[in-house]
Amino acid sequence: MISLEVTEQHLNLKGKHFLTLADLSPESIKGLLAKALKMKKSFTLGEETNVLKGNILGMIFEKPSTRTRASFEAGMLQLGGHALYLNSNDLQLGRGESIADTAKVLSQYVDAIMIRTFSHQTLEELSAHASVPVINGLTNLYHPCQALADLLTIYEKKGGWAGQKLCYIGDGNNVAHSLMIASAKTGMDITVACPRGYEPDPAIIKLAEGFSKASGSKVAISNHPIEAVENADIIYTDVWTSMGQEEENEKRLREFSGFQVNEHLVQYGKSDFVFLHCLPAHRGVEVEGAVIDGPHSAIFQQAGNRLHVQKALLSEIL
């Protein structure tokens, strides 16, 4: 494995918001991942740290989640801090209090805020009015914490990013957006294969292409899954219908039918490809169970890495 030789001096994240990977330099991303690896090793060895003793993370959930809640809450506890679960229906947000007022109030009680919400505009408004750091747990545009875990998993499985080809198959959604930026920042080639009309946001494609020029990587968009997955080192998919899109489910099932990651499709990837999925997975829909449970799958290692990258992120920001 190539050594992830990035010193923590590149990070400089203390007190800063974490809204999208586009805001971080390649050195900062690699520095976070280096710290995550170090913290993962310490966790495995049973070493304890109270680096966040006395710190409180407020967690706002407009969209529920297994991995986001469990990893952030467990991460704060393992680092000696505390986490408050704040369902949007339990907050005055559900009765019309403004995002700005909520940000100003919560800033009096907690040391940082993590929000998992629908609109990216909500995240930006919250961060504009909060006097404590705000972390993007997910919006309709980006899922940067997931992308950090993906990068760490790829590093562990492949030893690095430069020269690797990642093929994402499915909806051009928030996961695809963050993967494009993550790949471009770290020098990894990425092809996003979607049905026509479901491609990533053109502005984010342009943004990722700009980063790829600096790193020497390639960003490609395709409507042909077999062509896209050819010689891929990493094959990645996500659900076809995200929360908030339930009324489109039947239509999406029809239009994505040729984009299932199955045993036939993955044969076009490299013989040692790694399969990733941000979870939850709908077995038999976007991916066959045989691929999820097969020898190439690293989805549970990937899910576990959410804990370690978020601990690194929290410890740096706080």
- Residue of 129, 143, 277, 308 with catalytic role: 143
User: Is residue 254 marked as binding?
Assistant: no
Tokens (6 digits) for 222: 């395709």
Is the Cα dihedral 267, 269, 275, 278 positive or negative?
A: negative
Per the annotation, the verdict on 283 as an active-site residue is no
Residue 5 to residue 24: CA distance in whole angstroms: 17
User: Is residue 66 marked as binding?
Assistant: yes
User: Is residue 102 marked as binding?
Assistant: no
Per the annotation, the verdict on 167 as an active-site residue is no
User: Is residue 116 marked as binding?
Assistant: yes
Angle at which helices 299-317 and 26-44 pack, to 10 degrees?
Answer: 110
User: Is residue 296 marked as binding?
Assistant: no
How many other C-beta atoms are found inside a 10 Å radius of the C-beta of residue 262? 15
User: Is residue 95 marked as binding?
Assistant: no
User: Is residue 302 marked as binding?
Assistant: no
User: Is residue 65 marked as binding?
Assistant: yes
Per the annotation, the verdict on 238 as an active-site residue is yes
Whose structure tokens read 């294969």? 193
User: Is residue 167 marked as binding?
Assistant: no
Mapping DSSP to helix (H, G, I), strand (E, B) and coil, where does residue 61 land? strand
Per the annotation, the verdict on 69 as an active-site residue is no
Per the annotation, the verdict on 306 as an active-site residue is yes
- Residue of 116, 252, 296, 308 with catalytic role: 116
User: Is residue 194 marked as binding?
Assistant: no
> 262 near 287, Cβ under 8 Å?
yes
How many other C-beta atoms are found inside a 10 Å radius of the C-beta of residue 149? 27
- Residue of 189, 233, 238, 302 with catalytic role: 238
Can you name the residues that pair with 274 across neighbouring β-strands?
Answer: 234
- Residue of 17, 78, 146, 189 with catalytic role: 146
- Binding site, annotated residues: 65-68, 92, 116, 143-146, 174, 238, 242-243, 278-279, 306
- Binding site, annotated residues for L-ornithine: 174, 238, 242-243
- Binding site, annotated residues for carbamoyl phosphate: 65-68, 92, 116, 143-146, 278-279, 306
Active site residues: 116, 143, 146, 238, 278, 306
